A and B are shown apart, each in its own frame.
Chain A
Amino acid sequence: MKVTRRIRLEDLGLELELLPQKIGEAAALTLHEPWMLAAAQSFCPVDTGALLGSIRWELRGPHEAALIAGGLGYVNPRTGRPVDYVRHVHDGTSRMPARPFLLQAVLQERLRYAREMLRKTMEAL
């Protein structure tokens, strides 16, 4: 991705001074985008839909988020048990192959986040 912007030399110092602040703001805004959540849901194997329904995207700070799946708060409607088997599905077992839907989502979407941060930064300047 190439972004070109013409700035007068006299204004360049001020623009560069503003750059760290603008990058930070752009990063925080971009993390609000649920692209990794959508990708993880698309990669997740579905039987009852309980595991799919447990995938979530949580913002932990201005520049930090988490992609989570499973947890005791989510119940499988067929068995009535909590969705505590996500690790077996994601990482695989001796009798079941790994289906790393979270990892795939992170790897696929991380560049998209980086590009969007740059675009938002340039927009803000």
Chain B
Amino acid sequence: MAERSEIEYQVTVTGLGEATASANSAAAQAKQASSSLENARSSGSMAIPILFSSVRALTNARQAAEQANKAIRDLDPMMALYAFVNMVQTVQALTSLMKALKASTAAASAAQAILTTLAGAWWLIPLAIAAGALVYSRIQSMQAGGIVKETGPYLLHRGEYIIPEKQAASVERIVERTSAPVTRFGPIYVSFEKQPEEDERDAWMRGLEERLAQKLRRGG
């Protein structure tokens, strides 16, 4: 009778069990994170800066890889060059081991490949190598010497000498003077006021050639 004579709405707070489980799980993860941080701190003051530095380097690496990818996609050699340079710089920042790899273009391409792997974009490896090859094909050599007719990257060799543009004009004048075609004079007639002795005449003629050369070098 009582059941029929009244209405009752039960109000219950539910989900406390789930909340407890979630909170406990989160607490365990937070403790683990805190413990890792504490370990990093106690392992040395340089650990955290190195960690952050690595993260920065990897971010730069990823950007360089993306830049190379775009350069290849757009077939822009200059942009590929910049991407290539960025990659080499980033590789240097990542590890000193990469200094040795910079020595050759093939090694630089390999460096790019390693770098791309580090950046997590393994599918960019062939593109990165192609970027290195493309850039290499654009690099000109000055092995034969001469004036640089076009601004751009050049492959220089040990022992070659570079002259700044300001001094190049004077050097060019010297080169022109020394490498000018020989003007031929003659015939030269030599007359003697008195008849020399035969031996004396031959000695004088032998010395004449040297004296003429000296006069010409001094400008007369």
Which A residue sits closest to B10, measured CB to CB? Answer: A66
Which A residue sits closest to B18, measured CB to CB? Answer: A20
Fill in one digit per residue for B1-31: 1 if any A CB lies within 8 Å of its CB, else 0.
1101111111111001001100110111011
Secondary structure type dominating chain A contacts: helix
A13-B27, A17-B27 given as contacts; is B16 within 8 A of A68 (CB)?
no
In angstroms, Cα B13 to Cα A29, docked, is 12
> In the assembled complex, which residues on chain B have CB atoms less than 8 Å from the CB atom of A66?
8-11
Which A residue sits closest to B1, measured CB to CB? Answer: A72
Q: Determine if A12 and B7 form an interchain contact, defined as CB atoms under 8 angstroms apart.
A: no
Q: How many A-B residue pairs have CB under 8 A?
A: 98
Fill in one digit per residue for A14-35: 1 if any B CB lies within 8 Å of its CB, else 0.
1111011001100100010000
Other-chain residue from B1, B19, B24 in contact with A17 (beta carbon distance below 8 A):
B24
Q: Closest CB-CB distance, A83 to chain B, in whole Å? A: 7
Q: Determine if B23 and A69 form an interchain contact, defined as CB atoms under 8 angstroms apart.
A: no
Q: Determine if B30 and A9 form an interchain contact, defined as CB atoms under 8 angstroms apart.
A: yes
> In the assembled complex, which residues on chain B have CB atoms less than 8 Å from the CB atom of A65?
10-12
**With an 8 A cutoff between CB atoms, is A64 at the interface?**
yes
> In the assembled complex, which residues on chain B have CB atoms less than 8 Å from the CB atom of A14?
27
Q: Closest CB-CB distance, A11 to chain B, in whole Å? A: 8
Secondary structure type dominating chain B contacts: helix
Fill in one digit per residue for A55-89: 1 if any B CB lies within 8 Å of its CB, else 0.
00000100111111111100000000011101100
**With an 8 A cutoff between CB atoms, is B168 at the interface?**
no
**With an 8 A cutoff between CB atoms, is B78 at the interface?**
no
In angstroms, Cα B94 to Cα A61, docked, is 63
Q: Determine if B16 and A63 form an interchain contact, defined as CB atoms under 8 angstroms apart.
A: yes
In angstroms, Cα B75 to Cα A8, docked, is 50
Q: Determine if A10 and B34 form an interchain contact, defined as CB atoms under 8 angstroms apart.
A: yes
> In the assembled complex, which residues on chain B have CB atoms less than 8 Å from the CB atom of A103?
9
**With an 8 A cutoff between CB atoms, is B37 at the interface?**
yes
Q: Determine if B24 and A87 form an interchain contact, defined as CB atoms under 8 angstroms apart.
A: no
A16-B26, A17-B24 given as contacts; is B6 within 8 A of A64 (CB)?
no
* Interface, chain A (partner B; CB < 8 A): 9-10, 12-17, 19-20, 23-24, 27, 31, 36, 54, 60, 63-72, 82-84, 86-87, 90, 102-103, 106, 110, 113, 117
Nearest 9 CB-CB pairings of A with B = A16-B27, A13-B31, A20-B20, A84-B5, A70-B6, A12-B30, A19-B23, A13-B30, A71-B6
A sample of 11 more A-B contacts (CB under 8 A), given A10-B38, A106-B9, is A12-B34, A16-B30, A17-B23, A17-B24, A63-B16, A66-B11, A67-B8, A67-B9, A71-B2, A90-B7, A117-B13
